[in-house]
Chain A
């Protein structure tokens, strides 16, 4: 049985600096996988390698068994990967509604009407410029934009970054709902405690290497270990 997403031995470079050292990881059907690690560990680079925005020099990325390594990013997106980038990357000078018209319409349950239903706040603000939205609204817009591709896999890069706690809870609820609806999710977070609440499985990266992998419950229970691995400072 092939995983929704499998990374095998990725080595990724920025110019001459070797960032990812043989990263392997799997996301199975319907699973929510957390990818944790300190700032600079290589989480964003892993996602950029998957999307081919910074293509890995060696290693393989497969989606449902199909090799997508170094394919053009638009093909990877259309093959069913919804990407919510770090910092959200909203088109700030365009309205919410225009932002939602950027991705090609892919047939499936998610269309502009459906994402407005999921995030009524976006519907209310559909004529506002993306740059005028609050951080939470921008995050919702970034998720909505990714859903329009009707992805099989959603990958999110630090969706909680810079958001007020109430808003973080709202965003997390939306992610949990995506999982319930059958989407597989790869969730990058610096806030390990938050990610582990939702995750089935967790990987921890450090200096571009996977230093821990296992059921999320293990790290959830063993906060000292989580602290040591992922350097989480905000344990409750």
Chain B
């Protein structure tokens, strides 16, 4: 029983990592760009499929970097030509735009790569369990954890210590004032959108290695990612990560203890948080709190 719980919690942690990466990008984009990016899930799927396509040529490790970057290129075009004209308008416009974009992109993925799910081939040495007693800990899962820790840590460090990071945080609080201080907010918002899309693409590849590829993989991960943001506290990046991990682990444990509630449990957690602490676990004024 104990082993089963550890195993399930660990499964949940891995799923939670995917939620956390997604929620982190969504939060960044919501904060500075003021856009609820419903296409985030399809950018995730796109990252995964691009990796699937280029992996035979460049190998797994290079695809881990190149595929998200390719998704970022598309993301920057979308930001420049579709989203930018909507800045300053009612947020409903960009929400509807990204909602429509998500459907179009998902259909494009079906058209290009087919609607049937496919496995994502991992290097064999990553797929074997590291030890008999820790049978659920494969090299791949370790890689997922390490890369996520590295990327998240790097992102938080950049937000704290680099000028662009400081400007992103300042712009979250008061975009008008940073522009009056000489900051090119067009470039800053584009860069921020790009970072968000990179995280989505990365999440897509990491998730594909675990769950396989399917055109709808993004849409099934995006709702829990929104829940992660609300649980963690809208406006807090740390909160988004924490929220993602919490609901991932909770749903992993529920899968073992009471499988039918596996999906519902995250919404139950959200409801409880909203009642007890409406601003979320870490919701505060600053992006990093």
Give A residues with C-beta under 8 Å from B.
Answer: 51, 53, 72-74, 77-78, 83, 85, 89, 91-94, 98-99, 101-104, 106, 145-146, 149
Contact = CB atoms under 8 A, between A and B. Distances in A.
A72 B181 contact: no
Nearest to A77: B182
Interface residues of B, number: 23
Contacts of A89: 174, 177
Nearest to B162: A101
B180 A149 contact: no
Given A102-B170, A102-B181, 12 more contacts: A51-B180, A72-B179, A72-B184, A74-B180, A74-B181, A74-B184, A77-B179, A77-B182, A89-B174, A91-B173, A94-B286, A98-B170
B178 A102 contact: yes
A94 B166 contact: yes
A164 to B, nearest CB: 25
Interface string B166-198: 110110011011111111111000000000000
Contacts of A98: 166, 169-170
B180 A73 contact: yes
Nearest to A91: B170
Contacts of B184: 72, 74
Query: Which are the 9 A-B pairs with shortest beta-carbon distances?
Result: A93-B286, A77-B182, A73-B179, A89-B177, A103-B181, A91-B170, A78-B182, A73-B180, A102-B170
Nearest to B169: A94
A102 B180 contact: no
B163 interface: yes
B166 A74 contact: no
B166 A104 contact: no
